[in-house]
Amino acid sequence: MNSFAFLDKAARQRGDAPALIHGDEVVGYRDFHARALAIAGNLHRLGCKPGDRVAFCLANSPRILEVIYGCFAGGLVVVPINARLHPREMAYIVANSGAKVLVHGAEYQAGIADAIDAFEGLAHRFCLEPADGASPYDDLTDARYALSSAVDVEATDPCWLFYTSGTTGRPKGAIWNHRMVRCVVMNYLADLHNIQPGEVVLHAAPMSHGSGIVALPAIARGATQVILEPASFEPKSLFATIERHRVGHVAFLAPTQIIKMLDEFEPGAYDLSSLNAITYGGAPIHVVHLRRAIAAFGPVFVQLFGQGEAPITITGMTARRHQELLDADDPRIGSAGQIRTDVEAHCVDEDDNPLPPGEAGEVVVRGDVVMPGYWNNPEASAEALRGGWLHTGDIGMFDDAGYLFLLDRAKDMIISGGNNVYPREVEEIIVRHPAVANVCVVGIPDPYWGEAVHAVVVTEPGAQVSAKDIIAHCADHLAGYKKPKAVDFVKALPVSGYGKILRREVREKYWQGHDSRIGGGAPVEAQA
């Protein structure tokens, strides 16, 4: 089954219904379907053949979904690029994927032109507005060359390359095939939120990432998808859009966005009564923030845990289960939910031996939602998929009921005086302090302990708190070896284009001048 079939059905069943709304632009399902087939036909006319890659770098707009479904229809492989990347980072993904075509917004033209040598492998470039060296996007939607129907594909044929964020080394392209996309669609509807025909779904996060993936089940159900204006995340604009369009479901938010919503929420200022689901993921959310969010916006939060290598859902928690756990004051409200219906997952030790419930280790997963491998990277594929299980790189623990508690990334674990410390656990305590808005805990070099636990804190506006106060607060809740040895205060923490705190960027400055990034390393000066 070609993944285009979901749009094909929606166009037949709800052709006159609005599919995509962005500001004053409204695209109906019949027109959306026709534009995607035109893109497929024009790409074929340019020499693209099934299996060829087509990249895009676009700010959120209907054009993103047109390109994705145009690639599906043509049997092509779509390569979404994070719109916040530097042009040379874009060029790396284009080159690594072997993309023949790049579609981009006018705002990227200058940067691409400055780094044009790095894009030399491209056969064609299209821009949403007139630009030197690029053809107009409208050429891709020329109806004269539209396909009459989608091409036939096999379930195992690639259709999407999802490039990892590249926080360690070069980004890697996780291969998705049509079977995986079908799993994403059906599993989301079955286990997380059952989107209904005509339901209004709002996109307020990058559609090259989680929000765009949630668009797939929304299209399968013939939902109306509203794309937030402006491009940058502004909570009051979000609230106004929910009120105006009677939004039922916010497709995907990072925890940092939820915290920002809480900061600007004014009870009664907007009618948010239409909301029945807000999906969040991409990073764990601190329990104190989740409780505040449910109190402010109601029992509407849906959690998912996944990654580009196993898109959207390894574990999840429905809005109803959130409320049940909250009402019971159950600590599992701080978990990442339970293993999804058709997924297997458990934790393993350093030798890949399965661990029983209650013991922490790396989370591994298998099922049809798992990628077959990384694009042109057999070594990384073999490492990630060893033993037939995807090794997620996340340290977690399952309890007896199958709830997953994420402790941290394996590579972020702090080893202090021979003791393992998971930053996530320390952060959960610090963020409970009323003066703390956000926090990132890292290990920094220490001549005695090897690594010392160190907290970098953002305070609430106007709040006064000292490092001594934070450490004392931790001492009330944590073993002595887990509390920070020191605390720095900053105005803001660095975040990725997807809203994740860049822990390694926070950590890196403390390790400059050391010959390694583990066990304290050794000062470079000491080696002279």
Kindly list the distances between the CA atom of residue 276 and the CA atoms of 254, 301, 320, 450, in Å, as whole numbers in the listed order. 18, 8, 10, 48
- pLDDT band for position 527 (cuts 50, 70, 90): very low
Verify that 388 and 445 share a domain, yes or no: no
pLDDT recorded at residue 75:
98
pLDDT recorded at residue 421:
86
Verify that 120 and 172 share a domain, yes or no: yes
Once rounded to an integer, what is the mean pLDDT over residues 490-508?
89
141 in a structural domain: yes
23 in a structural domain: yes
405 in a structural domain: no
Residue type, 209: H
Q: Rounded to whole angstroms, how far apart are CA atoms 215 and 463?
A: 40
Domain containing 458 — which CATH number?
Answer: 3.30.300.30
pLDDT recorded at residue 165:
59
Q: Rounded to whole angstroms, how far apart are CA atoms 266 and 520?
A: 46
- pLDDT band for position 282 (cuts 50, 70, 90): confident
Once rounded to an integer, what is the mean pLDDT over residues 93-111?
96
pLDDT recorded at residue 449:
81
Once rounded to an integer, what is the mean pLDDT over residues 213-219?
97
- Which of 346, 366, 398 is a domain's end point? 398
For residue 520, pLDDT beyond 90: no
Kindly list the distances between the CA atom of residue 231 and the CA atoms of 31, 201, 212, 235, 262, in Å, as whole numbers in the listed order. 24, 16, 14, 12, 20
pLDDT in tens, 360-398: 999 999 999 999 999 999 999 999 999 999 999 889 999
Once rounded to an integer, what is the mean pLDDT over residues 193-216?
95
Verify that 336 and 480 share a domain, yes or no: no
Task: Give the global pTM.
Answer: 0.85
- Which of 398, 425, 448 is a domain's end point? 398
Q: Rounded to whole angstroms, how far apart are CA atoms 9 and 30?
A: 10
pLDDT recorded at residue 424:
87
Verify that 123 and 235 share a domain, yes or no: yes
Q: Rounded to whole angstroms, how far apart are CA atoms 321 and 87?
A: 43
408 in a structural domain: no
pLDDT in tens, 325-337: 999 999 999 899 9
- Six token digits for residue 202: 């709002």
Q: Rounded to whole angstroms, how far apart are CA atoms 236 and 214?
A: 22
327 in a structural domain: yes
Counted domains in the chain: 2
pLDDT recorded at residue 519:
58
pLDDT in tens, 289-335: 899 999 999 999 999 999 999 998 899 999 999 999 999 999 999 89
Q: Which range has the worst mean pLDDT, 79-88, 182-191, 409-418, 461-470?
A: 409-418
Residue range of the domain that includes 330: 5-398
Collapsing DSSP states into helix, strand and coil, what is residue 113? Answer: helix
Q: Rounded to whole angstroms, how far apart are CA atoms 340 and 499?
A: 25
Once rounded to an integer, what is the mean pLDDT over residues 187-203?
97
Percent of the chain surpassing pLDDT 90: 79
Phi, psi of 443 (to 5 degrees): -95, 135
- pLDDT band for position 120 (cuts 50, 70, 90): confident
Task: Please classify residue 102 by burial: count the beta carbons closer than 10 Å to its beta carbon, then call 0-12 exposed, 13-18 middle and 19+ buried.
Answer: buried
For residue 517, pLDDT beyond 90: no
Verify that 374 and 503 share a domain, yes or no: no
- Which of 366, 398, 430 is a domain's end point? 398
407 in a structural domain: no
Once rounded to an integer, what is the mean pLDDT over residues 456-474?
96
- The helix (H) or strand (E) run that includes residue 506 is helix 503-511
